[in-house]
Amino acid sequence: MKSMQEIINQEAVYMNDWTDKFGLISDFDEIHMTKEEYEATETPYRNVEVWEARKERMKKAIQKWEDINILFASYGYANYSGDAWVLYEQNGRLWEVNGSHCSCYGLEGQWAPEIVSLAELENRLMKGTWGEDNWSDNNFKERLCNFLGIEYKSNQNGV
């Protein structure tokens, strides 16, 4: 396994429905604004006030998330449901966040970080099917193994 410093120094990985920290913030903070909409100089919405309000909310959210060093984030949305997992570093500690939803809702209100150790992540990856998702399409196991420097073993269907 890679050292903590090696893991932190890598470029962040965003998978499946996320391509950057902006999308992650937008989903967990229930802003639902794309980066293009935020950076636009003219309103892409019919309602200027709604666009301005969302831009202001996103500006505040970006500031709030400034000290959160996202390392690995994956969000799959299929079969009208979503499943998300985020690994981040803050103040020298590793944290994880899990979120899921049915078709009626999103990830809002589910940013509930828990401290996680590299040993715990390795155990889940080596002994289970964590990160191998056939329902919401949040498959990240192989890429996370590579990111952490752990041998990849598929455990689905006894493989």
Asked whether residue 115 carries a pLDDT value surpassing 70, the answer given is yes
Section 3-27 average pLDDT: 96
Among residues 138, 157, 126, which one has the least CA distance to residue 14? 138
Residue type, 15: M
Residue type, 122: E
pLDDT tier for residue 138 given thresholds of 50, 70 and 90: confident
Among residues 150, 114, 132, 156, which one has the least CA distance to residue 3? 150
Where are any strands of DSSP class E within the chain? 13-16, 69-78, 81-90, 93-101, 114-115
pLDDT tier for residue 159 given thresholds of 50, 70 and 90: very low
**Contact between 16 and 137 (Cβ < 8 Å):** yes
Rounded-to-integer distance, Cα 147 and Cα 125, Å: 12
Rounded-to-integer distance, Cα 55 and Cα 47, Å: 13
